[in-house]
Amino acid sequence: MHPLWHRLTIEDVHHTLETSVSGLLADSIRSRQRQYGENHFPKKQRAGAITIIGRQFTSPLMLLLMLATVASLVIGQSEDALVIVLAAVLNGAVGFIQEWKAERSAAALSSYEIPQARVRRAGKVLDIPARELVPGDIVLLQAGSRIPADVRLIQTIDTQIDESLLTGESFPVTKQTKALASDAVIGDRVNMAFLGTLMVRGRAEGIVVSIGRQTQLGEIAQLVAETKDEPTPLQVQLKRFSWLLGGVVVFVAVALFFVGIAQGISTVEILGIAIALAVASIPEGLLISLTVVLAIGMQHMFKRFVLVRRLVAAETLGSVSVVCTDKTGTLTEGRMAVAQVRTRNHIATSLTDANDEVRAALLIGALNNDADVSEEARVRMDHPTERALLDAALTAGIAVEEARRIQRRMTEIPFTGERKYMVTQHVTASGNVVFVKGAPERVLAMCKMTEADRSYWQTQSHEMAQQGLRVLAVAKKSQEEMVTELPTELMCQGLIGISDVLRPSTRGSIRTLREAGV
């Protein structure tokens, strides 16, 4: 059993993995590569062409067709045999083409791999293929980096990581280096960085503690790879139908044979009649019709970005009674946006016609903000909350770029997970101004207000949180001297509620599922 890395101190991790801040030496790297192997997780073996072809000809109904072909040849009905063979081949060809294309698409989708990792080895910083990482390596991470393995963080500088791939959580997690309790769940292990997640802010260093299938993501991949295929409802029904049809056909043919013998008909003649009856009873058109219908359904689903790997599985959706779905990136767009702004006298849900109070609150959110306002920055990885605040200000018609130029930032106290707020100080035409944004309980505690006002803001914050919004408070004050510590006597300017944007199609999809009885 592997140690619970999150509960160990940095010194204990160094000791356990026999490494140091300068990184591993060459001899140690080679021995660990032999011991642990490459840093990649298992993939389920994809079906080859022979396997896919074999699947098309091993169903009970197809076996009945093969028996009917042999029987037709025995009684000299070569034309019937040819028709049955053509139907079987056409059925197999249609099924093979559809499943082959689906397998290739699935293989392309599953070829997820992080190509490079930056490490420190023997005191030197190197860029190496991520496959070559071993436990004990010191990795260097920065904003925009995909985490190349499971890592115990040993240094963090304003570090935030998007772990939605692993946990489904929309908001980035602020990381630190202190040891945690043993029972901390994956989402609470803030001193760890996990394979495949994305660093959206800051820099960090960490020790690789798990690679490949030993990582959290690798364990999930292993479970998927070990999942066994089960027969679909259609396959079960076809198998039952085939055995029933075969039994009835054999019974009728045998009964006809003995009745003919009892009537004095020659054995050869009555045998031919019995076999002909059996062949005529086999519905050779059923299989090809079923295959064509399923192939059409498979193509319709593919056009809606649904990949069906097995042809017979296309019918399975008709038997679904319960749908389990992820939220982030599935029901939602995985993109944060301002859903609501509350000021002392106004509640705004539409930003295009925002009044002066709402615009003043949004301006603070845009100035007290590290997201880049340029169009090119939209393709880069800004912090999603910062991006949402900036987009909201732009939607409200605020010229953010000009405001940042006129109200130039002098200094700042950056946001941290422990601090839960960010402070910036700006030069304005009327003097220096301090802007603060952060968790309502922290920002409101810095504000000068009556108890009635404090109660009002706390109630508003609670109501917004109950609506599933992430709430930020914004405040300001005039202050000429340079801000160096916790500001006080601020004036609260409003509350901003942020949510993960619901996909436009989600409501309609849920309505359709309900109407279908799901």
Catalytic positions are 326
The tokens for 459 are 């109630």
The tokens for 126 are 């190197």
The tokens for 398 are 């605020």
The tokens for 446 are 């810095």
Helices and strands per DSSP (H, E), number in the chain: 16, 14
CA-to-CA separations, 278 to 247, 266, 275, 282, 468, in angstroms, rounded: 11, 18, 5, 7, 66
Buried b (16+ CB within 10 A) or exposed e, 474-492: bbbbebeeebeeebeebeb
- Least Cα distance to 284 among 67, 504, 435 occurs for 67
Q: Report DSSP state, residue 227.
A: P
Three-state secondary-structure class, residue 47: coil
**For residues 137 and 33, is the Cβ–Cβ distance under 8 A?**
no
Buried b (16+ CB within 10 A) or exposed e, 93-103: ebbbebbeebb
Other residues' Cβ atoms within 10 Å of the Cβ of residue 448: 12
- How far apart are alpha carbons 300 and 286 in whole angstroms? 21
Q: Report DSSP state, residue 517.
A: T
Hey, what long-range contacts does 31-34 have (CB within 8 A, 24 or more apart)?
Answer: 32/134, 32/135, 32/136, 33/132, 33/134
The tokens for 181 are 């309790």
Residues whose CB falls within 8 Å of the CB of residue 168, separated by 6 or more in sequence, listed in order = 326, 327, 328
